[in-house]
Structure 1
Amino acid sequence: MSTARPARTQPRLTGHQGYSETHPRTEETAAIARRLARAACATWALPDDLTESVALVASELASNAVRHARGPSARVIVDRPSPERVYVAVVDRAPGRLPELRTPEPEEPCGRGLLLIEALSERWSYDRLGPAGRPWGKRCWAQLKTVR
């Protein structure tokens, strides 16, 4: 049984509405990120194929935060900074655990998330958060085009 508090979605008041939620850093976070991405894309009336790409990217970013970060929570962000772009990010508290694109061996059961993000997004990266000498976390993000 989860003791997590309900998440609060925080919409923006101008332009395309953006969404962000903070959740406990648990296995369920990836599914929550997928649902948030799908809900945002439905609100923006984006096509189904793009919606599924955004949902998969959100899920992979959240899975990486669950697997590799530390701290009790992760923040999922789904935004639309312009009509041509969707921005997906996950904030965690592990500034030293940076994403690294690699090609896993065929028998490896995991390690393909960033390859999927690379294939589906226009670009992706990360930003350390906090003071330069003492960052407290990082934001891993991807940007997808709405027009293909």
Structure 2
Amino acid sequence: MYATPLCRTAAYSGCEATCSSATALEGLAWDGAQDVVPSEYEDEVVQLLEHCPEAVGLARQTARVALRSWQMSAATTDMSLLVVSELVTNAVEHAKPPLAMHVGHQREPEQLWVGVTDGGPARQPGEWTSSCSRDEHGRGLHIVGSVSDAHGVTFHEVGITRWARLAAR
């Protein structure tokens, strides 16, 4: 179904834990969201992320390495990294842990699938959203929709995956 993944990493450095333990984060993320990328995508990268603002930068780094290995153009890389940033930020600000980023690559026709799985809606918005006025936030999913060929939401037993599909250009 999938080629050997480029990497399957768990990242817990860079910010304070918001989960009771890394083991709980791994268990929940893998049990409910390990087969998230559609089966037509031959290559896949999955990264567990800590529920904190620094997760956005780590997700972008991991996605950039994968996109480079798949020889994506600069334009496709830029759009994909924008989607990664918006989806991870959305999860950090509006969802419960755990977080997992998924990037899939299909060779024919060449396209990418980017998704972020989280633990479902948080009871309260994140610190950044709570600290700013309404006109300073709320455009992330609109941005994802404008740069992707398709986007949507998939519900799982343990959470939600917000995803986008982008043609390689």
- Please classify the TM superposition score into its range, dividing by the shorter chain length: 0.7 to 0.9
Larger relative CO (CA 8 A, sep 6+): 1 or 2? 2
Match runs of 1:1-148 below 5 Å: 2=15, 16-71=42-97, 73-83=98-108, 84-94=110-120, 108-130=135-157, 136-147=158-169
TM-score when normalising by structure 2:
0.66
Gaps of 5+ in 1: 98-106, 131-135
Cα shift readout 1:38-83 (whole Å, capped 9, x = no counterpart): 1111001111111010001011000000000012x20000111344
Given the superposition, is the C-alpha separation of residues 82 and 95 from structure 1 closer, same or farther in structure 2, using an over 3 Å criterion? farther
Gaps of 5+ in 2: 1-13, 27-33, 35-40, 124-133
Query: Is the 2:15–2:50 Cα contact (8 Å) retained in structure 1?
Result: no
* Structure 1 position 95, deviation (Å): 5.8
TM-score, normalized by length of structure 1?
0.75
Percent identical? 29
Pick the structure with more helix per residue.
2
Contact persistence 2:117–2:162 (CA under 8 A): yes
User: What does residue 11 of structure 2 align with?
Assistant: none
**CA RMSD after TM alignment:** 2.5
- Runs of 4+ in structure 1 displaced over 4 angstroms? none
CA offsets 1:13-54 (integer angstroms, 9 cap, x no match): xx7431001011100111112112211110011111110100
